[in-house]
Amino acid sequence: MEVIKQVSTIREKMQALRCSGKRIGFVPTMGALHEGHLQLLRASARENDITVCSIFVNPTQFNNPNDYKLYPRTSEQDIRLLQSVNCDYLFLPDAQEVYTQQSLLKFSFGELETVMEGEHRPGHFNGVATIVSKLFHYTLPHKAYFGQKDLQQVAIVRQLVQALSFDLELVCYPTVREESGLAMSSRNERLSSEQRQIAADLYKALKMAAAMLPEKPVQSVKKEVADYLKSRDQIELEYFEVADPATLQPVQDVKNAKEVALCLAAQVGPVRLIDNLLVNLNEE
């Protein structure tokens, strides 16, 4: 695996590969890699000639400077993991390389960024769209791979790809979970072993909501989920929403819905976590 830190080098390499007819798969990450990332990398290796991973903790998508400062950085371990799944290139730039000057560009994603993460983290998706656009320009992928855990981010990137006519296919893979049900996340590295077990209650809440939805009104389900998590030690619920999986707008009645997305964010000890569950309401 070749490690590249310069934008000019990665761009030159990818242009040459593309011109030679090689298909490029790309997995953007912020490092502290786990099985969820490895699932995406294995898929890319199966489906493409070349697999590129980026590791970049993007400062422009953090609302909380302390969160950015404390985000796990485990580059040596990450490199070993990337080699184990036959990644061909690692793009590992620093912030000065990516942001040579302050970006004044502002993205607007309409209603999609007024709910959930967009509502609670103003400016977050502008930072996401900026860095993803840059990385797509640098790596020129045929396919880009994302995880379902960041469901709203995937929707934002899908809109970005369509609006700016990026010549690539966006691929989304299901969330990978720990044995307890906790969604794998780089942020889990900051949880103590006790907090990790407590955080598994987030998935339990989603499963509980999925079981209740066919029988109870949406508002009742939302109240029961909020009450359940309020009763759990060290969990502070930020939001729980029943949403349309395509638009992520709130759903008030599931009577005519075929599928809904259950989405939540919560603080567990010192760490903010998100999770979601897609529920097929037509299942018998």
CA distance 167 to 56: 22
Residue 227 marked ligand-binding: no
Residue 135 marked ligand-binding: no
Residue 249 marked ligand-binding: no
Residue 153 marked ligand-binding: yes
Residue 61 marked ligand-binding: yes
Residue 116 marked ligand-binding: no
DSSP label of 150: G
Q: With beta carbons less than 8 A apart as the criterion, state whether 140 and 24 touch.
A: yes
Residue 147 marked ligand-binding: yes
Q: Which helix (H) or strand (E) holds 65?
A: helix 65-70
Residue 212 marked ligand-binding: no
CA distance 81 to 63: 29
Residue 42 marked ligand-binding: no
CA distance 230 to 265: 13
Give catalytic status of residue 37 as yes or no.
yes
Residue 186 marked ligand-binding: yes
Residue 184 marked ligand-binding: yes
Our CA angle for 182, 185, 189, nearest 5°, is 95
Residue 35 marked ligand-binding: yes
Q: With beta carbons less than 8 A apart as the criterion, state whether 145 and 25 touch.
A: yes
Q: Could you tell me which residues come within 8 angstroms of residue 131 by beta carbon, excluding any fewer than 6 positions away? A: 28, 56, 58, 60, 61, 98
Q: Could you tell me which residues come within 8 angstroms of residue 146 by beta carbon, excluding any fewer than 6 positions away? A: 28, 40, 153, 154, 157, 170, 171, 172, 173
Neighbours of 2 (CB within 10 A): 12
Residue 25 marked ligand-binding: no
Which positions are annotated as active-site residues? 37
Residues that constitute the known binding site for beta-alanine: 61
Would you list which residues are annotated within the binding site for (R)-pantoate?
A: 61, 153
Binding-site residues for ATP: 30-37, 147-150, 176, 184-187
